Structures are given as C-alpha cells and as structure tokens.
C-alpha cells in the first residue's frame, strides 16, 4: 500500500537509516581488525609499531562508530517522532472531516485504538525496528563475506542456512496475517468495551455489576487474552524451529573446518574465527528474524492508520452557508440507522422562521433523530432537508452547525475551567460577554459562590458539577454563540424540581431573541405555548398545530395531554 501524507518519511529518518547502515558495516570492520591483531600476535616478528598501528585503527573505527551511531540514532528518533507528531495532527484533522454518523460506539473504539496503539506501533517501526534491521542486516552481510574470505565452503553453507530465513518469514507472516489482524480487531473491540465500562461505571456500580461481575467487559478482555495467547502460540514455534537450525550451523561449521585446518589448508587463526563468527551470525540472524516478525506485526498498525486516512470524507461545500431566513423544511424525508428498519418514513413538515416549534411523541418515535438530521449528524436516506430554501445535502456539517446552537439533556464539558468551557461557543468572546451570558443562563450566581469562580475546573466531562449546573452552562454557551437556529433536546429531563425551575428560567431567557427554535420536551405543559407542535408517531408527523388546535382534534396529542393531567393531579 503506497504511503501518503503523514506516513511519508522525512529527511531526518532517511539520514538515520543511512548512518545506521554505515555503522553496521563499520561493526564488521572491527572483526577484521581483530583478525589482523591476532595474526600479528601469532607472527614470528611483532613490532610495537605494528601493534600501535592496529590499535590506532581500532580506536578510529570505534570513535567513528560512536559518532555515526549517535547521529544515526538521534536522526532516527527525531524523524520518527516528527512523523508520529504529524500523523496525530493529521488524524485529528481527519476526524473533523469524517461524517459524524461514522462515530458509532464500535467505530469510536477503532479510532481510539488507531490514534493511540497504532500510531505508537508505527512510531516503533520508524524509531527502532527499521534501524535495528538495517544495522543487523549490514553486519550479517559483512560477517558472511568475511567467512567466505576465510573459507569459502563455510561461507556457502552459512549463506544457505541464512536463506532459510525466507521460508521462516513466510510462515511467520502468515501467522501475523491471520492472528495479528484478529488480535488488532479484538483489541479495538476491547477498547470500545472499556470506554463503555468507564463511562457507565456509576450505573454498573449501582446495579452491582462492576468489576469482574461485568460480563461484557470481562469477556472482551478474556477474548483479547485468548487471541494474544493463540498469536504467540503459533508464532513462537516457527521462530524456535528456525533458531535450532540456525544454531546447529555453529558446530557444523566447526566440524567441516577441522579437516582443512589439520591438513594445513587454513591457518589456526582462520579456524578460530570460523568457530567464533558463526555464533555472532546466529545471534544476528535470530535478531533479524524477531525484528522482521515484529515489523510485519506493526505493519498492521500502519494499515489501520491508512484505513482511517482513506476513509470517505464529507463532500459538502465548505463555503459559508448564508440564507435570507432560517425556515426549516423536511420534504418526504426517510431515515434508518439500520438498513430495512425505518425510523422516519416520508416525513414532511415546515419549521417557520423565528418561531418556536415543539416536537412531542412516544419514546423512540424519532424526535431526536429529527434534530440530528437538522444538525447534519446524519444524512437522510431519502427526501430533502432545506434551510432558508437551500438544500443542506451539499453543505458540510461544519458550515450548517455554525448556524445552530444545541442544548442536549446529555451535556458534554471539557476538562477545563467554567469560563473556557463557555468560551468554546465563541472563542473570541470577552470575559464580560461570557459573564453576561451566564447571567442570562441563570448560572452566574452558583459560579461566583465557588472558591475560584469562573476559573473553577469542571472536571472530566463536568463530573465536578451537578446535572442542573452543567445544563445551565450548556445554555450559557448557546446564549453566547447566539446562532439563528436553536435546537433543544429535552433540556429539563432528569433534573430535580429546583434545578428544573432554574433551567426553565434560563431557557426562557434564551428564547427572548428571535430565533428559529425546535424543542423536544418530555412534558407537554412546557410546550403548550409553542407556535407549532408536531406529534411524531410511527416515523411520521401524525398531527401538527397549536396546543388548542390539537386538543380540539381529539387525537394523539389530546390523549397525551389528558394522561399528563391525570398524572399531575
């Protein structure tokens, strides 16, 4: 698979590889120098000059090796780290362009795994595996060439045994392809399960199914452990068998070298090195085998990164989305999360410009789906959605969302201060504008009572604040953004009476400005004064009208209203 963009090696990495190869060849030269030293020492005439000359050469070679290795290693690390940094920045930007509907539970686990484990794995390829391989291969070549010089038959035998690395790698790569790919997939699923477990830890503990009692997470981790074991169990025997053959060459070379040595065909020093160098070569080939196996395994990480890089992106226009009004039209819209299981069927309605439209209906009827489609979190499978008369199908989600403020029942807050969490709605906003928005959102009071006021940390996902506090901060963000379209998804759900009253007052302040508002509410009394009420049932708009008009019809809305009145009586 061709490398593109952020995976492209930089000049630092290339320099590092070149210097590492040079250092590998110099390592081989060291053994040649040792060979010359021993020859001199065994010679009849040995002068101090000869010894000093060889010693000087060895010192120069060693100094060069230290220098070249330092440069090569440093350049490898700089190059690999730079690629890793650019890769993470690229993926972060890439996620911004991937359609929002792709961020399902399982897919998020894959994305997390890619951004963390896979990027780390690819960095390992660049900073360690490639340099180790190039150095060891260069040194192995030098050793084989030198053994061929000492005694050609021994060099030929070692070259033949080394070639056994090819079938060994073929078998190893098959193992990686089968079990390594499976392990990576299970790893992503395990990450998804762990993320879900951590997010729902309060619920799990409340029902006594946390820790080892949580079957889903436990089974996921057991499966990962099992796949990892199978991976090693099938990979290790192949490498072990190859190493046995590889090391058997050491005594075999000694054996075939005895006869020519005793016959005087080769010198004692040559025979001595024939006994020693095959051990070094066996270690090198063993290391190359392990590194190639690891390299192939880490290539899976590279391929996972490439999959994300090549994922389809939103093809909508990134030009500013400008319209004369913000009327929203659904024209025979179809949508389904799962093919064949329709959530919306030929749904048609109009949300008037600068009016409040409420959406009510049974749980699961498609109310939140309508808001998700307006915000382009998902794309309809049929029909057309228009804002201000313009179809939004060819507009990027980012451009549409610039015109929308959203207040959900599940508020997401960054692990930052309250002030900076609100500033995300409009980064250029001043502190005075943020505080004014908080006063409108009915949260300035509780913020100022905190020890650090607006500089109080919210904790991870706002866990240091209550539900009502988080909700009012969310409304403050919507007020600060001041978008022409406002989407409210059951903003007062799951709150106690005191917080619900505070949030309702904050919403009332939010609705002071003329906006196109679409509100989902779990209690009908909240929306009875809406300009229009849409009743969703069976994936379609069953009824539409004002509160009085719908009561007069005596249909589904009337039945829902009467049931609510009985409950509140």
Of the residues 279, 309, 339, the one at which a domain ends: 309
Whether 293 and 397 map to the same domain: the answer is: no
pLDDT for 62 beyond 60: yes
| Site of tokens 């078998």 | 171
Average pLDDT over residues 207-234: 75
Q: Which residues contact 411 (CB under 8 A, 6 or more apart)?
A: 462, 470, 471, 473, 474
- State how far the Cα of 308 lies from the Cα of 285, in Å rounded to an integer: 35
How confident is the model over 168-192, as pLDDT tens digits? 888 877 877 777 777 777 777 777 7
Whether 40 and 82 map to the same domain: the answer is: yes
395 vs 334, 376, 386, 486, CA distance in Å?
A: 19, 9, 11, 19
Whether 258 and 387 map to the same domain: the answer is: no
CATH number for 358: 3.40.50.300
Q: Which domain holds residue 355?
A: 325-403+522-569
pLDDT for 434 beyond 90: yes
Whether 124 and 265 map to the same domain: the answer is: yes
Whether 246 and 342 map to the same domain: the answer is: no
pLDDT band (50, 70, 90) for residue 2: very low
Whether 51 and 157 map to the same domain: the answer is: yes
CATH number for 89: 1.20.1560.10
**Where does residue 545 fall: left (phi above 0), alpha (psi -120 to 50 degrees), or beta otherwise?**
left
HEC assignment per residue over 272-301: HHHHHHHHHHHHHHHHHHHHHHHHHHHHHH
Whether 114 and 246 map to the same domain: the answer is: yes
Whether 158 and 238 map to the same domain: the answer is: yes
Q: Which of 62, 64, 37 is nearest to 52 (CA)?
A: 37
For residue 486, list its beta bridge partners: 405, 517
Residue 466: Cβ within 10 Å count = 13
| Residue 314 within a domain | no
Residue 221 tokens, joined? 């981790």
- Higher-scoring residue by pLDDT: 517, 502: 517
pLDDT band (50, 70, 90) for residue 142: confident
- State how far the Cα of 551 lies from the Cα of 360, in Å rounded to an integer: 14
Whether 296 and 336 map to the same domain: the answer is: no
Give me the pLDDT at residue 92, please. 82
Give me the pLDDT at residue 564, please. 81
N-term to C-term CA, the chain: 68
Q: Taking a C-beta distance cutoff of 8 angstroms, is the pair 377, 102 a contact? A: no
| Residue 424 within a domain | no
For the chain, how many structural domains are there in total?
2
Residue 565: Cβ within 10 Å count = 11
In this structure, is the dihedral angle defined by the CA atoms of residues 50, 53, 56 and 58, taken in order, positive or negative? negative
**Where does residue 303 fall: left (phi above 0), alpha (psi -120 to 50 degrees), or beta otherwise?**
alpha
How confident is the model over 268-289, as pLDDT tens digits? 888 888 888 888 888 888 888 8
pLDDT band (50, 70, 90) for residue 202: low
User: Percent of the chain scored above 90 by pLDDT?
Assistant: 14
How confident is the model over 462-512, as pLDDT tens digits? 788 888 888 888 888 888 988 899 888 876 655 555 666 766 777 777 777
Whether 273 and 134 map to the same domain: the answer is: yes
Whether 65 and 179 map to the same domain: the answer is: yes
Q: Comparing 36-50, 153-167, 473-487, which segment has the lowest mean pLDDT?
A: 36-50
- State how far the Cα of 484 lies from the Cα of 325, in Å rounded to an integer: 9
Whether 356 and 398 map to the same domain: the answer is: yes
Q: Which of 410, 362, 350 is nearest to 544 (CA)?
A: 350
pLDDT band (50, 70, 90) for residue 387: very high
Greatest alpha-carbon span in the chain: 122
Average pLDDT over residues 92-103: 77
pLDDT band (50, 70, 90) for residue 454: very high
- State how far the Cα of 374 lies from the Cα of 6, in Å rounded to an integer: 34
How confident is the model over 308-337, as pLDDT tens digits? 888 877 777 778 888 889 999 999 999 988
| Residue 131 within a domain | yes
């Amino acid at each position: 698979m061709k490398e593109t963009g952020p995976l492209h090696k930089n000049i630092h990495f290339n320099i590092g590889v070149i210097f590492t190869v040079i250092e590998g060849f110099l390592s081989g030269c060291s053994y040649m120098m040792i060979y010359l030293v021993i020859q001199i020492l065994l010679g009849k005439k040995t002068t101090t000059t000869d010894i000093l000359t060889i010693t000087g050469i060895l010192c120069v070679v060693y100094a060069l090796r230290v220098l070249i290795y330092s440069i090569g290693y440093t350049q490898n690390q700089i190059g690999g780290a730079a690629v890793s940094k650019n890769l993470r920045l690229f993926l972060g930007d890439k996620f911004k362009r991937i359609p929002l509907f792709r961020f399902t539970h399982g897919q998020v686990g894959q994305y997390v795994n890619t951004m963390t484990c896979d990027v780390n794995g690819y960095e390992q390829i660049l900073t360690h595996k490639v340099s180790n391989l190039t150095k060891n291969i260069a040194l192995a070549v030098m050793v084989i060439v030198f053994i061929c010089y000492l005694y050609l038959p021994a060099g030929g035998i070692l070259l033949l045994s080394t070639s056994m690395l090819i079938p060994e790698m073929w078998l190893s790569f098959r193992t990686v392809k089968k079990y390594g790919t499976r392990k990576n997939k299970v790893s992503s699923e395990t990450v998804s399960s762990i993320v879900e477990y951590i997010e729902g830890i309060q619920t799990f503990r409340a029902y006594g199914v946390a820790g080892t009692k949580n079957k889903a997470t436990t089974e996921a981790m057991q499966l990962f452990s099992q796949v990892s074991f199978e991976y090693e169990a099938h990979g290790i025997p192949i490498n072990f068998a190859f190493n046995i053959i590889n090391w058997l060459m050491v005594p075999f070379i000694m054996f075939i070298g005895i006869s020519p040595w005793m016959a005087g065909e080769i010198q004692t020093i040559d025979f001595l090195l024939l006994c020693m160098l095959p051990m070094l070569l066996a270690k090198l080939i063993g290391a190359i085998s392990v590194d190639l196996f690891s390299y192939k395994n880490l290539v899976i990480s590279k391929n996972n990164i490439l999959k994300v890089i090549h994922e389809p992106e939103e093809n909508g226009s990134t030009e500013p989305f400008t319209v004369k009004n913000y009327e929203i039209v659904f024209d025979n819209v179809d949508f389904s999360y799962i093919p064949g299981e329709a959530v919306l069927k030929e749904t048609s309605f109009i949300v008037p410009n600068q009016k409040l439209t409420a959406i009510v209906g049974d749980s699961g009827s498609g109310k939140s789906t309508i808001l998700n489609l307006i915000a382009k979190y998902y794309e309809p499978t049929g029909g057309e959605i228009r804002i201000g008369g313009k179809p939004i199908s060819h507009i990027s989600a980012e451009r549409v969302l610039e015109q929308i403020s959203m207040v959900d029942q599940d508020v997401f807050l960054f692990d930052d201060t309250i002030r900076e969490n609100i500033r995300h709605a409009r980064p250029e906003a001043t502190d005075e504008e943020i505080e004014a928005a908080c006063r409108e959102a009915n949260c300035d009071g509780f913020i100022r009572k905190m020890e650090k006021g607006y500089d109080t940390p919210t904790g991870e996902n706002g866990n240091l604040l209550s539900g009502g506090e988080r909700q009012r901060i969310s409304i403050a963000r919507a007020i600060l953004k001041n978008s022409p379209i406002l989407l409210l998804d059951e903003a007062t759900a799951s709150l106690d009476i005191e917080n619900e009253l505070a949030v309702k007052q904050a919403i009332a302040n939010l609705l002071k400005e003329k906006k196109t508002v679409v509100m989902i509410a779990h209690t009908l009394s909240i929306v009875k004064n809406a300009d229009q009420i849409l009743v969703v049932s069976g994936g379609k708009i069953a009824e539409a009208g004002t509160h009085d008009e719908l009561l007069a019809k005596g249909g589904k809305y009337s039945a829902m209203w009467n049931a609510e009145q009985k409950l509140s009586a």
